[in-house]
Structure 1
Amino acid sequence: MTPTVADVVSAVELLWPAAGAESWDAVGLVAGEPDAEVSSILLAVDAVLDTVDEAVSTGAGVLLVHHPLLLRGVTSVAADRYKGAALTRLIRGGCALLAAHTNADVVARGTSATLAATIGLEDARPIVPGAGNPSLGLGRVGRLSQPVSLGRLARALAEALPPTATGVRVAGDFDRQVSTVALCAGAGDSLLAHPDVLAADVYITSDLRHHPASEAAENARVAGGPALVDVSHWASEWLWLENAAAELRSALPGVDVTVSELRTDPWDFAVTQ
């Protein structure tokens, strides 16, 4: 029997339970007919027009994304604006839209865990443990097998992550030796003051704004603290998609599960000075 959209939703719930999502999040089925049959699933970080068109053109029955399309309220889904156009194309193309966001961040093979494994962190544990299960939670902190320079770690990240216009930005001494690493895939400035982050040699995350980054760097000069490494939000979470695809293939035998190679990082180029 061919799986349905409802079967995909059930599989996603088992892999990334909605109960693990933050209270402000909007995960689960966004659009689609639960009884529709699904022979293929496309995974992407973002439901932008390019990934929507890719899903429809390849005949995917479900577009599974990390970032919810309707995270914030809208008053219209008319097709003359981005979100309405995306939903219109998906509905007309018979492709459901499903989101696994912060519920996919906290699991054992989630976004931060994948980033930690990519750089070889040992004994990695969550920065913010989940309620009732300390092995699950937001972010990860652990140790490298041996100390490396901050510059070498940044170069390793640049090689491991898919390329983007903004690349890898670093606040800290290039030759500083680092061993303890804290990280949060995606936007992680909310954890800058966490004790585990402050105790680390380096903190890797995305979307660091001027004032929080400047304050953290200046505080590190006075009282000690981590170097900062800022990477593309999209790139840091794109790594997780292959883990997610593998888990879905096991949960839904016979369904073709693929990962979009399209870059949905919003920046097209940078001019260095």
Structure 2
Amino acid sequence: MLAKGQTVIQYMEQLAPKHLAYDWDKIGLQLGTLQKEISNVLVALDVNDEVVEEAISLNCNLIIAHHAIIFRPLEGIQTDTPAGKLYEKLIKNDIAVYISHTNLDVTEGGMNDWMAEALGIENGTPIKDAHTEQLSKLVVFVPKDHHQKVLDAVMNAGAGRVGNYSHCSFNIEGYGTFIPQEGTNPYIGEQGKMERADEIRIETIVPLSIRNKVVQAMLKAHPYEEVAYDLYSMDLKGRSLGLGRVGKLKEPVTLGEFVDRVKTGLNVDKVRVVGDLNRPIRKAAVIGGSGAKYFKNAIFRGADVLVTGDIDYHTAQDAFLAGITLIDPGHNAEKIMKEKVREWMLVKLVDDKYETSVYASQVNTEPFQFL
């Protein structure tokens, strides 16, 4: 059985929720339709003519990409222009294009975590906060014989996370009273008679982004026809998610040694470097894409080096004078996302027994040559 387009994108948005994207960003479905079965998915950093030809050769009818094919408003589509020809080829071959950009950068387990892991940055935290989770308190009353089942359901759906602790809850024993009315089919008690049931009150914290998912899991596991539960808004804020990652290395290395690690980890042949190659590096920062303007944030977080693309001349001078070293592996180093997204999608599809296949694009979309 093939997965529907909406199902594939639901998986993608579990990894990179749309609400994490910056408001200026152009994400989501940009061309085509998701109202169809998806035979094969191609994951790409950019979408150009070579990538589209690759998708056609692999019989892919959905491309998931990091960089938008439509960023500025279109005044028209002329099929004798490079962009127009690209859109025409995608439409004629029934290939939809879905974009996941700054939401994939910001999310936990996304672009910047993959890059940090590749560089040996441990316990990375954001360089610049972009989104703080809103929290709700879920309270539900459960009969004792279903307590563990309901508790497991809400925790496995993502509730109960406090800092680096998971599965956090508070449980109180008590009793509930009710009278089942005509037309009911009560799990406990009889119609028309007052019932007193031994119950456990479960309290836990739920991020707003997964509240519906947690509630649905709770309702599915609960034995009652009418479930008694409450959701309270909280002033307490949850995790802060943001751009980049900064953290300590397991062992100090020189800048020159760290350069070699960047080349290997991000699969690039050459990099640009600002700083003394003998300088010791204990704490490193990375931002996928163009993150040079955040070098002061990296300094504030204690980083000795910032790895990011598209560093301009004057920013390099300013950073050098401010005392931080820089490594520029190019914007295209974000290609790490191709294989990582493919792996994520395949696990989800296989677990749900779909036969849709996922490919990581093999096309090199780096526009620069280093001679």
Q: What is the TM-score when the length of structure 2 is the normalising length?
A: 0.67
Alpha-carbon separation, structure 2, partners of 1:212 and 1:63: 35
CA distance in 2, matches of 1:34, 1:155: 42
Deviation at 1:127, TM superposition (A): 1.3
Alignment of 1:205-220 (within 5 A): 205-218=308-321, 220=322
Return the offset for 1:134: 3.0
The aligned residue for residue 228 of structure 1 is: 326
Question: Using the alignment, how far apart are the partners of 1:79 and 1:161 within structure 2?
Answer: 36
Output aligned runs, 1:26-45, within 5 Å.
26-45=26-45
- Report SS of the residue matched to 1:74: coil
Match of 1:90 in 2: 90
**1:179 CA drift (Å):** 0.8
- Give the alignment's TM-score, normalised by structure 1: 0.90
**2:243/2:287 contact within 8 Å kept:** yes
Q: CA deviation at 1:59?
A: 0.7
Shift of 1:118: 0.5
- Residues 1:116 and 2:217 are matched in the alignment: no
The superposition leaves residues 60-106 of structure 1 with CA deviations (integer Å, 9 ceiling, x where unpaired) of 01011000111222323222222222111111111111100001011
State the secondary structure of the residue aligned to 2:3.
coil
1:24 aligned counterpart, secondary structure? coil
Query: Are residue 158 (structure 1) and residue 293 (structure 2) matched?
Result: no
Deviates more, 1:2-11 or 1:239-248: 2-11
* Structure 1 pair 215–198 and aligned structure 2 pair: CA distance change class (3 A): farther
RMSD between aligned residues: 1.6
**Displacement, 1:58?**
1.3
Residues in 2 aligned to 1:22 and 1:51: alpha-carbon distance in whole angstroms: 26
TM-superposed deviation, 1:259? 0.4
What per-residue deviation string (whole Å, max 9, x for no partner) do you get for residues 136-194 of structure 1? Answer: 32100001101101011101211222335xx2110000111101001101110231221
- The one of 272, 278, 288 aligned to 1:169: 272
Which of 146, 150, 164 is matched with 2:251 structurally? Answer: 146
CA contact (8 A) 1:198 1:226 kept: no
Q: Is the 8 A contact 1:43 1:63 kept in 2?
A: yes
Higher-strand-fraction structure: 2
Q: Mind listing any 5+ residue stretches in structure 1 that lack a counterpart?
A: none
The reply on whether 1:245 has 2:345 as its aligned counterpart is no
Distance between the aligned counterparts of 1:230 and 1:50, measured in 2? 26
Against the structure 1 CA distance between its residues 197 and 62, is the aligned structure 2 distance closer, same or farther, given a 3 Å change threshold?
A: farther
| Partner SS, residue 131 of structure 1 | strand
Q: 1:259 aligns with which of 354, 360, 366?
A: 360
> Could you report, residue by residue, the CA deviation over 1:30-56 in whole angstroms, capped at 9, with x for unpaired residues?
111222210110001001111111112
Structure 1 partner of 2:187: none
- Change in 2 beyond 3 A, CA 1:212/1:91: same
8 A Cα contact 1:187 1:208, kept in partner: yes
Compare 173-182 and 80-89 and name the one that shifted more.
80-89
Percent identity over the alignment is: 32
Matched position secondary structure for 1:193: helix
Distance in 2 (CA, whole Å) between partners of 1:176 and 1:42 is 41
Alignment check: 8 A CA contact 1:39 1:60 kept: yes
Kept after mapping to 2: 8 A contact 1:108/1:135: no
* CA 141–163 in structure 1, closer or farther in 2 if over 3 Å, else same: closer
Mapped contact 1:199–1:226 kept (Cα < 8 A): no
Alpha-carbon distance in 1 for matches of 2:261, 2:14? 33
Structure 2 counterpart of 1:102: 102
Q: Which amino acid aligns with 1:78?
A: Q
Aligned residue pair count: 262
SS in 2 for 1:203: strand
Counterpart in the other structure of 2:287: 184
